Structure 1
Amino acid sequence: MAGAVLIGIKGEEGLWLADLQQGTVVRYTQPLTGDLAAAESWRAKGIRVEKNVDFAVALISASGVASGLFEG
């Protein structure tokens, strides 16, 4: 299993780092270089970039998950 996930949400500036083992999410503030910088520049142009992710949904709030939106 991956230990961390770097997340960019459409309409939001910057990236977020989710540490799956610690259960934390923080703004990613390190300078982007190499392939990661290239992927972020594509994202700025509206190109989606994904690698090793098989499910992702952006929600307005966590209450959407708890309301049964994805049940049954």
Structure 2
Amino acid sequence: MANVIVLGVQGSSELYMVDLDAGTVTPLVGGLPEEAASLAALRKTGTVVTKGVDFAVSLSAPLAAAGSFHES
């Protein structure tokens, strides 16, 4: 399983590094390795690239996700 995910949100040119082990999200500064940079460049054409992630959704607020969880 991946421990780090590079994430980009539609409408923003920024990329973020999500460290699942540390529980942090930080702006990605500096360059990406050549292959990853080529994939990131595809974003400009509207191409969506996913690898190793089987669920992702963009929500307008954190409470939208939390409101969907119900404990029994």
Q: If the TM-score is normalised by the length of the shorter chain, which range does it land in?
A: 0.7 to 0.9
- Please state how far the C-alpha of 1:36 moved relative to its aligned partner: 0.9
The number of residue pairs the alignment matches comes to: 70
User: Are 2:61 and 1:50 aligned?
Assistant: no
Higher relative contact order (CA 8 A, sep 6+): 2
SS at the partner of 1:35? helix
**Equivalent residue letter for 2:51:** K
- Please state how far the C-alpha of 1:32 moved relative to its aligned partner: 2.6
Aligned match of 1:23: 23
Q: Structure 2, unaligned stretches of length 5 or more?
A: none
Runs of 4+ in 1 over 6 A off after TM superposition: none
TM-score normalised to structure 2 length: 0.86
Aligned match of 2:9: 9
Q: Deviations over 1:3-58 (max 9, x none)?
A: 11110111112101000000000000121341111111111111111111100001
User: Are 2:18 and 1:41 aligned?
Assistant: no
Q: Structure 1, unaligned stretches of length 5 or more?
A: none
Query: For 1:35 and 1:14, how far apart are their aligned partners in 2?
Result: 18
Query: For 1:41 and 1:31, how far apart are their aligned partners in 2?
Result: 12
TM-score normalised to structure 1 length: 0.86
SS at the partner of 2:36? helix
